[in-house]
Structure 1
Amino acid sequence: MAALDTTRTTYGSFGLIGRIGALFTAATNAVVVWNDARATRNALSDLTDRELEDIGLSRSDIDGVAVTSRGF
């Protein structure tokens, strides 16, 4: 007769494969965040000063907006 141990939890015990997957996910997320900031920076840089003023920004605000535009 086979016994199945159901008292162990799997929370936090990823093993090697799980840790590699978590590392890959973290790296992918970092690339996505970087690309979003790059795209935002490029889109805002393409606007004229008048268009930036219409949305309440100036050229000096672009980098700050691009970094904080992560959707949180």
Structure 2
Amino acid sequence: MAAYYITRSHDGLQTFAGRIGTVLANVYTSVVDWNDARVTRNALSALTDRELEDIGLVRGDIDQVAQSHRLF
């Protein structure tokens, strides 16, 4: 005698809601990352060339640092 069981971990509505939640979480994360980069860029841009040199940067490094800050 063979037994055949079908289990469903999610129905269609839960899967759809989960996908919407994932999309919203990704959008939120993107906005937070963009804002962090903007704040970092503005803070570094407000420093003088001497202050930037003290921390080992030049003005041309600001965009790269602002975009890669989340890697640290």
CA distance in 1, matches of 2:8, 2:34: 35
Equivalent residue for 1:53? Answer: 53
Work out the number of aligned pairs and report it: 66
Residue identity in the other structure for 1:57: L
CA distance in 2, matches of 1:67, 1:53: 19
- What displacement does 1:50 show? 0.3
Q: Which has the higher helix share?
A: 2
Q: Secondary structure at the match of 1:70?
A: helix
Gaps of 5+ in 1: none
- What displacement does 1:71 show? 3.8
CA distance in 2, matches of 1:36, 1:59: 18
Gaps of 5+ in 2: none
- The TM-score with structure 1 as length reference comes to 0.80
Equivalent residue for 1:64? Answer: 64
Identity %: 55
Alignment of 1:10-49 (within 5 A): 10=9, 15-49=15-49
Return 32-41 or 14-23, whichever deviates more: 14-23
